Amino acid sequence: MGNDAVAIPAAESLAQRLLTGSVKKSYDPVVDMDWDAPLDPGKFFLPPELVSLYGTDLWESMTPEQQRELSRQELANVLSVGIWFENLLNRLLLRELMTDDPTSRHSHYTLVEMGDECRHMMMFGKLIDRIEARPYWPNLPGRLAISSLQIFLRGSMTWVGALVGEEIFDAVQRRTLDDPQLQPLVARAMRIHVTEEARHIGFARDALARRVPTMSAAEIAYTRLCVAIAAPLFVYLLTNRHMYDRAGLDGRAARRIASENPYARKALATGAANLGAFLDKQGLIGPVGKWIWRQRGLL
């Protein structure tokens, strides 16, 4: 996002529509979720088919209680990754506002999105606490690595990073909203997140699509490299070995099984399908990137 955004009526028009939509339908997780509702001891915290070991021999050998516990740990990990990501995204958006026109609708919606992300982080943290799990927090080297990403994610990569972090989760969540096996509290949190993330995704797609025609060959090459790297990083974070340890499994062995699980790869590919098609249309996922994404199960 830059000063050129306010000179483009289409960008301002979209931002105004998103601002109007935010007024009509936004949520406060403190009051819009029933945090005192009891958890159902027979329901999962992620739908079984989205748990990373689903369909494997190891999964079939687990008791229903062990399967639910793994779904609880995987949800806590996904929520933790979501908190890291939305923290980073807000830093990127705040930096962009330093050079944007503070009177533009584009800037105003950026501020609204940042507010949404703050509430999402609180919702995720409260949900981790409510399901009586512990967050999966990076060690010092991990925190430094995550913090350093804001140095490299500039220009087009601000929006690519936003889409990689938002679209795949969004697609997966949409498939699970009405799953009868899912804890009602979790389903409610997913519905809130999906509703507000739909606006964020539209905003990021528009910003990236408008930037592409002005990008130099060097920026396109750099963006393609970052897109390629994003795939293994995303899969790595989703299959944190410590969540298997906490579920009573051999973390290293379980992670290896999950990485080779065709059911898990299919779920990832389904989640990444629309994003992959969009990036390909914009010319931002080259042959190497496509190969890496296929290797990691995202295509």
Instruction: Determine the straight-line distance between the first and last CA of the chain, rounded to whole angstroms.
Output: 28
Q: What pLDDT is stored for residue 7 in this prediction?
A: 45
Q: Please give the backbone phi and psi of residue 168, each rounded to the nearest 5 degrees, phi first.
A: -65, -45
CB 233 within 8 A of CB 293: no
Which two three-digit tokens encode residue 199? 């606006």
Say what the pLDDT of residue 257 is: 96
pLDDT digits over 62-94, tens only?
999 999 999 999 999 999 999 999 999 999 999
- The class of domain 3-20+40-295 in CATH terms is mainly alpha
Rounded to 5°, the CA angle 51-233-209 comes to 105
- The 3-state secondary structure of the chain reads CCHHHHHCHHHHHHHHHHHHHHHHCCCCHHHHCCCCCCCCCCCECCCHHHCCCCCCHHHHHCCHHHHHHHHHHHHHHHHHHHHHHHHHHHHHHHHHHCCCCCCCHHHHHHHHHHHHHHHHHHHHHHHHHHCCCCCCCCCHHHHHHHHHHHHHCCCHHHHHHHHHHHHHHHHHHHCCCCCCCECHHHHHHHHHHHHHHHHHHHHHHHHHHHHHHHCCHHHHHHHHHHHHHHHHHHHHHHCCHHHHHHCCCCHHHHHHHHHCCHHHHHHHHHHHHHHHHHHHHCCCCCHHHHHHHHHCCCC
- To 5 degrees, how large is the angle CA 293–CA 161–CA 8? 120
pLDDT value at 5 more than 50: no
Q: Which residues are CB-neighbours of 74 under 8 A, at least 6 positions away?
A: 45, 46, 51, 52, 243
pLDDT of residue 254: 97
Question: Domain spans of the chain?
Answer: 3-20+40-295
Q: For the whole model, what pTM was predicted?
A: 0.90
C-alpha 72/C-alpha 51 separation (Å) is 10
- Place 6 in a pLDDT band, splitting at 50, 70 and 90: very low
The mean pLDDT value for 257-278 works out to 90
8 — pLDDT class (breaks 50, 70, 90): low
Q: Which two tokens stand for residue 119?
A: 């509430």
- In tens, the pLDDT along 158-188 reads 898 889 888 887 877 887 777 899 999 999 9
pLDDT tens sequence across 12-52: 999 999 999 999 999 999 999 999 999 999 999 999 999 99
The per-residue pLDDT for range 202-231, each reduced to its tens digit, is 999 999 999 999 999 999 999 999 899 887
Give the pLDDT confidence of 99-155 residue by residue, as tens digits: 999 999 999 999 999 999 999 999 999 999 999 999 998 888 877 877 787 787 888
